[in-house]
Amino acid sequence: MLFKVIGKRMELSPPRVYVKDTGTPKGRGVFAARPFNAGELVEVCPVVLVRKSYEALHKELKTFAFHWEVPEGAAATQALALGYGSLYNHASPSNLRYETDAQALVIRFLAVRSVEAGEELTINYNADGGAAVSEDDWWFEEKGIRLLTG
């Protein structure tokens, strides 16, 4: 188990992933240190909530922030995932999906298919609700980020 809740305290055990250079223009990525089965929990990341609209975030933070659902009428909120959560690169389809937990203030990353040891772990920046697949690859263009080509 990657984490357990004891009263109001959450204990995290080290994830079985690591960061290294991808050898591509993407730079660093997160990789599986061991195989993961479809549906398996890969990582649980506590989040730091930032009560600002996405547009108001500093330019460097925009590529790391996750939109955080808030009740209607509440201030726009973004989340910065701790652990490896803000370091996962994009792919569509990706091999991970993620889900937010507003009560526990965490983001869970789960394998959507079998993942081999040494394989880069990815999430889909375009899909609503952290899904692994999206119809369109709009995220980078909308954010004004030009993709690097090798």
Q: Could you say which residues of the chain have pLDDT below 70?
A: 1-15, 71, 134-150
Structural domains in the chain plus CATH codes = 17-125 (2.170.270.10)
- Cα dihedral 88, 137, 22, 114 in deg (nearest 10): 60
Q: What's the confidence (pLDDT) of residue 62?
A: 80
Give me the pLDDT at residue 10, please: 57
Q: What contacts 12, CB < 8 A, 6 or more positions away?
A: 2, 3, 44, 46, 83
For the whole model, what pTM was predicted? 0.79
